[in-house]
Amino acid sequence: MTELTRTLKTLGLHYSAEHLDDIVSHATKKRFTPRQLFEHVAHLENQERARRSLERRLSRSRLGPFKPMADFEWDWPDKISRTDVDAALELDFLERDRNVVLVAAEGLGKTMIARNIIHNAILAGRSALFLSAAELLLDLGSQESARGLDRRLKHYARVGLLAIDEIGYLSYDVRNADLLFQLVSMRYEKKPLVLTTNLHFSEWPRIFPGAACTTALIDRVVHHADIIPIEGKSYRLRDATEDKKKRSRSRRRKKT
């Protein structure tokens, strides 16, 4: 058994090597034919490799903890197209290499939706990455050589689905605008993007003041894009207000 276990590991059949006794016992109990035994081992190995692949994609995605869409309060925003959001969550845009742009003020769930889109893409077997615009541009801007920058740009360009969160919360200089334009251009009509922004495209020049590429950047983002606007008041502001009221009532009860 020791020699067989070693051979199985050499062949890359790690699950079978680790669970050899159980597999042999199960095959004996079920009276598998040699063909059935091979089919069973192949199924187990394929299942295990799919599991490990999913774990790797989730680990590399930088997705972090997030709320599932089951917790999304559809009746809270004043304006939202559930049909468009559901289509994005079902990954319809991936087959056509289209972008998804979620436009909403702070606290309306655009980041929550974007994270769920990325999670669904990973479950569907895609490589995906989620990061904020600040994280992306800090990484690109910190490269000390042209070769290093080229390597990082290609890294982000290769990802099957890239989500860039919080475009519009900070202003960036001309170099950062150029870096983002380079990346968007490398992915243009090849690999889709998911973007979240709190500003309408007419306001994007405020994000990159003085950058000549802003118009071209917007043009490449929206050319093949499903734009989903969300309007209303902030969830977090509502929750903070309700929490304040609860504390106030609690204090009054204690005084009474």
Q: In what order do the strands lie in the sheet with 99-104?
A: 128-132, 161-167, 193-197, 99-104, 225-230
Cα separation, 38 vs 240, in Å, equals: 59
Q: What is the pLDDT of residues 133-152, one digit of tens each?
A: 999 999 999 999 999 999 99
CB 79 within 8 A of CB 231: yes
Fold category of 69-237 in CATH: Rossmann fold (3.40.50)
Domain boundaries, the chain: 2-60, 69-237
pLDDT band, very low/low/confident/very high, at 203 (cuts 50, 70, 90)? very high
Cα separation, 190 vs 107, in Å, equals: 31
- Range from 90-94, 196-200, 232-236 carrying the lowest mean pLDDT: 232-236
Cα separation, 5 vs 162, in Å, equals: 40
Cα separation, 94 vs 90, in Å, equals: 9
Per-chain mean pLDDT for the chain:
91
CB 198 within 8 A of CB 104: yes
Q: What is the pLDDT of residues 93-107, one digit of tens each?
A: 998 889 999 999 998
> Global pTM?
0.82
- Range from 41-45, 164-168, 248-252 carrying the lowest mean pLDDT: 248-252
Q: What is the pLDDT of residues 8-35, one digit of tens each?
A: 999 999 999 999 999 999 999 999 999 9
Q: What is the pLDDT of residues 226-255, one digit of tens each?
A: 999 999 998 766 555 565 556 666 666 776
Cβ neighbourhood burial of 144 (10 Å; 0-12, 13-18, 19+)? exposed
pLDDT of residue 148: 96
